């Protein structure tokens, strides 16, 4: 019965997506931070301000999340989600790139200055430039 009612209520409404999951995560993180601050520094005025801000952020996140889930403007919510995913992937790519660069070294071709990526810790190897075919020896 309740499920049926809920289903009817949610009909034509946007529901949950990646962005709302992110908002819920934000809410939980800031809520936990504010709880920890409350426990560790119960009388500190400085932390009271931080605690209040964290609380507000977590409330704002959950209210915005609910607003999106119950929204009937599906197109707008969908576009927000697409935008969120775009920014999220951009952000994650920064870490991915750093992880890749850890395992590689970048050398410049002595002739044409072309940048060449070579795996690390392979000892002395002969590198041939993919652009001008110049060969040079480098320690990786």
Residue numbers at the binding site for Zn ion (CB under 5 A): 109, 111-112, 114, 129, 131-132, 134
Which helix (H) or strand (E) segment holds residue 110: the answer is none
Q: How far is the CB of 113 from Zn ion (least distance, A)?
A: 7
Q: How far is the CB of 121 from Zn ion (least distance, A)?
A: 24
Nearer to Zn ion, 44 or 128 (CB): 128
Nearer to Zn ion, 73 or 128 (CB): 128
Which helix (H) or strand (E) segment holds residue 88: the answer is helix 74-102
Q: Which residues of 48-70 are buried (b: 16+ CB within 10 A; e: fewer)?
A: eeebeebbebbeebbeebeebbe
Q: How far is the CB of 133 from Zn ion (least distance, A)?
A: 7
């Amino acid at each position: 019965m309740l499920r049926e009612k809920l289903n009817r209520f949610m009909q034509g409404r946007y529901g949950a997506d990646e962005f709302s999951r992110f908002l819920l995560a934000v809410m939980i993180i800031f809520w936990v931070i504010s709880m920890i601050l409350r426990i560790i520094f119960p009388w500190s005025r400085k932390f009271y301000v931080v605690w209040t801000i964290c609380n507000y952020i977590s409330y704002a996140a959950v209210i915005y999340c609910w607003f999106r889930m119950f929204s009937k403007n599906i197109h707008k919510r969908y576009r927000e989600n697409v935008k969120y995913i775009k920014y999220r992937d951009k952000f994650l790519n920064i870490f991915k790139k750093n992880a890749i660069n850890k395992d590689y070294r970048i050398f410049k071709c002595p002739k044409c200055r072309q940048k060449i990526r070579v795996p690390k810790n392979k000892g002395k190897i002969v590198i041939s430039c993919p652009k001008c075919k110049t060969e040079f020896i480098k320690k990786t």
